[in-house]
Amino acid sequence: MSAWKGWKIGPGPDARPVFPPKVMVQIKALACELPSETGVPLSRFSSEEIATEAMERGIVAQISGSTVWRWLHEDAIKPWQYRSWIFPRDPHFEEKAGRVLDLYQGSWGGLPLGADEYVISADEKTSIQARQRKHKTLGPSRGAGQRVEFEYRRGGALNYMAVWDVRRAKIFGRCEAKTGILAFDRLVHDVMSQEPYCSAKRVFWIVDNGSSHRGQPSINRLQEKWPKIVLVHLPIHASWLNQIEIYFSILQRKVLTPNDFPSLKALEERIYKFQEHYENIAKTFKWKFTRENLSTVLNKLSQQPHGLALAA
């Protein structure tokens, strides 16, 4: 096969070459290949590497990396991008996730929740470090943002356990040196020992499969002390369905970034102050993802050539 040299549009050495469609198609196909499968010790091709590979294969006699980049940039397929995926191992994924989504919509077992029934979303944000910067953080100046020293001393770490009342926009949390059953039970006590939860008909607690609240033993343990609790476990790898994660992401952006705290005590105080501040301004999250949406997504993913996968 002879390499295509390309036509020139317009006179002069700076005129842009024009390639026939089949050359463009072949180079886009090359961009979609995994380099490792062709014997090249790379994970991804750059535009320049695609251009070099195309010339070595005889697809084209001469082409620049900028031309390759322009073609790929304009195309619907973005071979240089990738996402991490998790293949669910829970055979009852849709059933378990559906129960949680029903609670967000205000129902359980096909019946609407009553005014004296509550939905709690709970989880832990673990190993939050207090990073003591080796130089004082400088405030923003004209044309520049804050300057945060790269090097830091480790001031220790704590764990923040929190719950979000889905229907009332209330937040409860506590900082603990360690996570575990005892720490989680203290968090449950903080919530269930006060109104309106202690006199509620039922309080649904949505949790993941962490060691402090995993499986039937956790259900038995909590219901023995708090009979009104209904512990609802998410499927494995489904923390994205837990509304408390939205609050944690807000905390991360508003409080923990950049991480610059003189001590562990200062970090803890900031978290508690933000928790109080946020509850004063909080509104319920506008959760729009329903059981029907979940079914649509799972059905679509099941038709993929590599089977069912969920975005990590």
Return the closest-CA partner of residue 197 out of 210, 185, 188. 188
Of 23, 44, 74, the one marking the end of a domain is: 74
- Tell me, yes or no, whether 232 and 286 share the same domain: yes
Query: How far apart are alpha carbons 15 and 12 in whole angstroms?
Result: 6
- Tell me, yes or no, whether 51 and 110 share the same domain: no
Residue 79 lies in a domain: no
According to the 3-state scheme, what is the secondary structure of the chain? CCCECCEECCCCCCCCEECCHHHHHHHHHHHCCCHHHHCCCCCCCCHHHHHHHHHHCCCECCCCHHHHHHHHHHCCCCCCCCCCEECCCCCCHHHHHHHHHHHHCCEECCEECCCCEEEEEEEEEEEEEEEEECCCCECCECCECCECCCCEEEEEEEEEEEEEECCCCEEEEEEECCCCHHHHHHHHHHHHCCCCCCCCCEEEEEECCCHHHCHHHHHHHHHHHCCCEEEEECCCCCHHHCCHHHHHHHHHHHCCCCCCCCCHHHHHHHHHHHHHHHHHHCCCCCCCCCHHHHHHHHHHHHCCCCCCCEEC
Residue 86 lies in a domain: no
- Tell me, yes or no, whether 127 and 271 share the same domain: yes
Residues above pLDDT 70, as percent of the chain: 91
Structural domain boundaries enclosing 28: 7-74
> Can you give the CATH number for the domain in which 244 is found?
3.30.420.10
Residue 83 lies in a domain: no
pLDDT tens sequence across 189-234: 999 999 999 999 999 999 999 999 999 999 999 999 999 999 999 9
Return the closest-CA partner of residue 152 out of 267, 232, 260, 21. 260
Residue 99 lies in a domain: yes
Extract the tokens encoding 307: 């089977």
- Tell me, yes or no, whether 60 and 154 share the same domain: no
Say if residues 167 and 202 touch (Cβ distance below 8 Å): no
Extract the tokens encoding 75: 């195309």
Tell me, what's the pLDDT at 8?
47
Residue 9 has pLDDT above 50, yes or no: no
- Tell me, yes or no, whether 37 and 184 share the same domain: no
- Tell me, yes or no, whether 126 and 222 share the same domain: yes
| 66 burial via Cβ count (<10 Å: 0-12, 13-18, 19+) | exposed
Residue 181 lies in a domain: yes
Residue 187 has pLDDT above 90, yes or no: yes
Say if residues 60 and 81 touch (Cβ distance below 8 Å): no
Residue 11 has pLDDT above 70, yes or no: no
Residue 117 lies in a domain: yes
Residue 84 lies in a domain: no
- Tell me, yes or no, whether 57 and 118 share the same domain: no
- Tell me, yes or no, whether 11 and 100 share the same domain: no
Query: 288: pLDDT confidence band, cut at 50, 70 and 90?
Result: very high
- Tell me, yes or no, whether 56 and 102 share the same domain: no
Residue 87 lies in a domain: no
- Tell me, yes or no, whether 173 and 277 share the same domain: yes
Of 25, 45, 74, the one marking the end of a domain is: 74
Task: Compute CA distances 232 → 115, 132, 174, 236, whole Å.
Answer: 19, 39, 21, 12
pLDDT tens sequence across 35-87: 888 788 888 888 999 999 999 999 999 999 999 999 999 988 787 787 887 76
Residue 1 has pLDDT above 60, yes or no: no
Return the closest-CA partner of residue 45 out of 36, 60, 84. 36
**In total, how many domains does the chain have?**
2
